[in-house]
Amino acid sequence: MKGICGEQLNNCMLLGNCDNVGDGATIVGAEDGVGGAGSGGVLAASARRIRLRQVQSMAVPATSAYDTLERPYRHDKARGRWAKSADFYFASCTHAFTSLMFSDLPTFGLIHGGWVLFIIAYLMGIFFYSLPIFLIQAFLGQFSTSGSISAFRVAPIFKGIGYSILLINLGTLTYYSIGAVVPLIYAVNTLHAVIPWTHCNNTWNSLDCSTHDNYDPDDLSVDPHSTVEFFRSMIASTGEGSTALSISLPMLVAVVAIWLLVLALLLKPIAFIGKALRCACVLMFACFVAVFFYLAIHERVDLGTIHSYLLPSFYNVEGLLRAGSSAFLLAGLALGPGCGSVINLASYNSFRSDAERMSVWVCLTHATIGLLAMLCCNVAHDHFEDHVGMLPLHVDEKHDMQYLYLSFSYLFGRFSTASNLWAFLFFLIIFLAEISALTIQLLSVLTSLFDEFECLRCRKMPIICFLVFGLAATSLYFCTQVSDEFSLPEIICIASVPPLSVGLQSAESAATTGHVLACPHFGCSRADGHLGLWPCALPVRLAVHAGQNDLKLYHILHTLCHAHLSRTVSGG
């Protein structure tokens, strides 16, 4: 506001300056021509000059940054607006279909045996945490018509928040593309006549490859399934002969293709980007509705199934409270990818757009999609563990995306009708959501830079190209095994103890000596765009083989696991 008012004040001063100069010249001329009025003209001219100097001393300098009053803020008139006001809603809703909705959110409900507390906490987080912050960011972006840095010119002391948002987004963009690479690879492979992960006749399959649909849960290991070997070769790059820096050819090609697509979008006007996001969101809605109903019909999901999922198993009240608090924090996914993306998206609204109504609808949409995604994920996880193996007891690729893609790829591969089609539609949904999130987050960075630094506006194309190619190069590192070691630390918790063959004392000693079996993973997912906003936890389902037939033994192992986890996280 100070910069805007200062600019208007300067214009008024300039007009007054011109008028005063003209009057002063006329009076001086009159003084020379008329001797009788000389003294009065001199006094009047002197008074006007004194007044002019006083006014000029009050004027705001013409070169001001709105905080130091050395350069006024100049709006970028070429930044454009949404083609339709609804584009803000659709752009904000694209993040509702992100891979986190089908992976992280349901996991917290699964690990603690029920949804009731988790769902209540999730909905409370949506309406008491996400919605107010969403409204604040939407109003700030819409009425400032600028990015996350320049939006704080109304209170320059908070400009550091804008720069922090910029740095967080740049940091997460270095690995964010991986979230779009994996579903793209799966979607492309569904175009084969026979889905590659449903058989063992591929070049990457080992001699031990299996297509079993049944296993003995008492076994400590099972033969590697074809679904697992596809993920191991194409995604995790952990096949035979691989090294720490190995990267599969499909991952390399997909990373390059995704960044070229993002570059092509960002070089277009904002109206075109809004139309593209609108079409992508509508397509995701349509595909998700079709996939959800067919999955429910194929797997015979009824009210009894939903009721069994809803009922919690109160093994540990502390664990349930932890799940509830995690659900409350994960409700922040409604705020979009990265940090401050809502400010950027709202800055392209027209001044009279109803930001309040659209914000409410965005949060309602996120809550609805989140609950439906939880049901889909539970069904997929149960189907996988009924036929292939326990996660992560029998199947553990030490990758933070394995639970989503192993479960759903196996489920859709077993569909009796048009399995290729349903698998393609599902992975297309996630790909469109992740590519939209990548575009929105990078658009937020570019908008902040061009709005704040006027000198960069004439160099938009080279800056966009340089930033995209630089991020594409760094993304290749996160396709290797080395990145997994840093992005997802493992904590092994429970010993390999045969069921019903040990007593409680031997179970305690086994757990303390390190012979452990099931492993909750705690750490930040690479696909999580909110890195740095809160300490995120990604626990994987606690599959306690030793305690599945002995509830008391389960309690002891579970308590020891969380005690070890607390010491590890606290650095003890």
In angstroms, the CA 483 to CA 470 distance is: 18
3-state DSSP percent of the chain in helix, strand and coil, to 5: 65, 0, 35
Closest CA to 82 of 345, 313, 470: 345
Other Cβ atoms closer than 10 A to 552: 10
Tokens of 255: 């990373």
DSSP for 17-32 reads HHHHHHHHHHHHHHHH
DSSP for 108-130 reads HHHHTT-SHHHHHHHHHHIIIII
DSSP H or E run through 183: helix 178-189
Query: Cβ neighbours of residue 147 under 8 Å, at least 6 residues apart?
Result: 162, 343, 344, 347, 444, 447, 448, 449, 450, 451, 452
Burial pattern 167-189, b for ≥16 Cβ within 10 A else e, equals ebbbebbbbbbbbbbbbbbbbbb
DSSP for 321-338 reads HHHHHHHHHHGGGGG-SS
Could you report how far apart the first and last alpha carbons of the chain are, in Å?
50
Task: Tell me the binding residues for Na(+).
Answer: 96
Helices (H), 456-503: 460-477, 481-487
Closest CA to 350 of 75, 79, 85: 85
Per the CB < 8 A criterion, the answer to whether 104 and 312 are in contact is no
Dihedral over alpha carbons 291, 293, 299, 302 (to 10 degrees): 150
Task: Tell me the binding residues.
Answer: 96
Closest CA to 565 of 480, 495, 491: 491
